[in-house]
Structure 1
Amino acid sequence: MPEGHTLHRLARLHQRRFGGAPVEVSSPQGRFTSGAALIDGLVLERAEAWGKHLLHRYESDLIVHIHLGLYGKFSDQTVPMDEPVGAVRLRMVGEKYGTDLRGPTACEIYTDQQVDSLLARLGPDPIRKDADPEQAWKRISKSRTAIGTLLMDQKVLVGVGNVYRAEILFRHGINPMRPGKDLDHAEWDALWIDLVDLMKIGVRKGKIITIRPEDDHGDGSYGAGRPRTYVYRRAGRPCRICGTEILHSVMQARNLFWCPVCQAT
């Protein structure tokens, strides 16, 4: 599933390519036909992201809410676009560019009230300027739940996926099984600041980069075209810092990676 930086990159791209002008909107697949008809030809006023949720705000106070889920993806073309291929849920066509959305978990029309209700259920987004880390700290500091679980809980904070979860905990020497209430405020402040920096790098670069330059050595990445990681998808391989074998487990149905020495507590 795409992590939060991917959605922010999409929002910025859509704002740049479609914002401030009328957009032709259709649903070649047919599953968003009524919604597309409501916004077809309207001006896209703003595209923005909240964690893993993408919002397209049109004039007349109509909003398209998109959640890519595991399989959702946008594919772009210059205008004129080719005929749709496959199950295209949403097609947007602007003056110079068009984009097709396939396979999202959600693509639906929201009102302002529905958006407010959605955002009320979500924790702060580290990439947004209006994020309040204290909102997340209030939940973490009172919880006996493992910090590795809390970081992935969208009610606590949003946009953090499996890669950022594993890497940020390693960078701060925090065992993923440690209860949230056992973190102190200074640890949380440092983790939050680092998370903001790393996720903003992800927005700028279009990929997750978590290794400090002085640690960027040793074996290659976990996949072709992927940057090196400290622990993510490195189970059984030596820690880049201490040489200990990286461990793997499953936490809340998601793969978990950590170093038992560098993250002993």
Structure 2
Amino acid sequence: MPEGHTIHRLAARHREILAGHPVAVTSPQGRFASGAALVSGRVLRDTEAYGKHLLHHYEGDRTVHVHLGLYGKFAEGTLPAPAPVGQVRMVLAGPAHWLELRGPTACEVLDPPGVDALRARLGADPLRDDADPAVAYRRLRSSTKALPALLMDQSIVAGCGLIYANEVLFRAGLSPQTPGTAIDPARWTALWDDLRALMKEGVLRGRIDTVHTEHTPEAMRRAPRVDRHGGEVYVYRRPGQPCLVCGTPVARGAMAGRNLYWCPTCQPARTR
């Protein structure tokens, strides 16, 4: 599932090529036909990302809400748009560009109360300037759940996914077994600031890079990481490989069906 930086990149790109113009909206697949009819021909006023949710705001207080989920993806190009092939949920056509959406978990039209309700159930998005990390901290600090689960809880931190959760905990030297109740305000501030910086870098680069300069392939004279997610990371999907900092083999475990990765030396288990 795309993490928040990807959705913010999509929002910026869609704003660039479509905002300020009437947009023709269709649903070749038919599953979004009624929603498409509500907004087609209207001016797309703006776009925004909130966590893993993409919002297209049209004139007349209509908003198309998209959540890509595990399989959703956008394609784009310059007009004329190609004939749709397969299961295409939504096609948008502006003055010079087209967008094609396939396989999203959600694609729906919301009214203002619906948008408000969506925002209300989401936590603080590190990539948004209106985010309040204090609200996220209160929710996290009150829970005995392990930190990875809390960081990926979209009602606490919107936009943080598995890669960022694993990596930010490594960079903080925190074991993935650490409960939220063990995090004091100073440590939370450091975690939040680091996560925000990493995700902002992800928006700029279009990939997740989390290693410090001294641990890059060039600095360490090692081969670049080869992975479909791209980017240089410390522990994510590196089980059994040596930690880039201390050389200890990276460990892997499971939490609620998700893989966790950590260095047993750099992220020692909390002692009581």
User: TM over 0.5: same fold?
Assistant: yes
Distance 1:251 1:259 in 2: 16
Deviations 1:103-138 (Å, cap 9, x if unpaired)? 000000111101111111110000001001001100
Note closer, same or farther for the CA distance 1:225–1:58 as it changes in structure 2 (3 Å cut). closer
SS in 2 for 1:41: coil
- Quote the residue 2:73 is aligned against: 73
Alignment RMSD? 1.1
* Contact 1:222–1:233 (8 Å) recurs in 2: no
CA distance, structure 2, for counterparts of residue 225 and residue 32 of structure 1: 30
Alpha-carbon separation, structure 2, partners of 1:138 and 1:226: 33
Which residue in 2 is equivalent to 1:129?
A: 129
Please tell me whether the aligned partners of residues 126 and 192 of structure 1 are also in contact (alpha carbons under 8 angstroms): yes
State the match for 1:254 in structure 2: 258
Deviations 1:45-103 (A, max 9, x none): 01100000000010000010100000000001110111111111000001111010000
Equivalence map 1:56-95=2 (5 Å): 56-95=56-95
Counterpart for residue 110 of structure 1: 110
Contact 1:69 1:105 in 2 (8 A): yes
Q: CA 1:145–1:197 in structure 2 vs 1: closer, same or farther (change >3 Å)? A: same
Report the TM-score, using the length of structure 2 for normalisation. 0.95
Which residue type is aligned with residue 235 of structure 1?
A: P
Deviation per residue, 1:158-181 (Å, 9 max, x gap): 101111011000001011110101
* TM-score of the superposed pair, with normalisation by structure 1: 0.98
Tell me the matched-pair count.
Answer: 265
Q: 1:63 corresponds to which letter in structure 2?
A: T
For residue 225 of structure 1, report the CA deviation from its aligned partner: 7.5
1:263 alignment counterpart: 267
For 1:158 and 1:30, the matched residues in 2 are separated by 30
Moved >3 Å (runs of 4+): none
Give the conservation status (yes or no) of the 8 Å contact 2:207–2:229: no
Deviation at 1:221, TM superposition (A): 1.1
- Alignment of 1:238 with 2:212, yes or no, is no
Distance in 2 between the 1:66 and 1:153 partners?
19
Indicate the percent of aligned positions where both proteins have the same amino acid.
52
Taking structure 1 as reference, are residues 225 and 250 closer, same or farther at Cα in structure 2, changes over 3 Å only?
closer
* Contact 1:246 1:259 (8 Å CA) reproduced: yes
TM-aligned CA deviation for residue 222 of structure 1: 4.3
Distance 1:127 1:8 in 2: 8
Deviation at 1:220, TM superposition (A): 3.4
SS at match of 1:229: coil
Q: Distance in 1 between matches of 2:106 and 2:200?
A: 25
Aligned counterpart, 2:231: 227
- What does residue 4 of structure 1 align with? 4
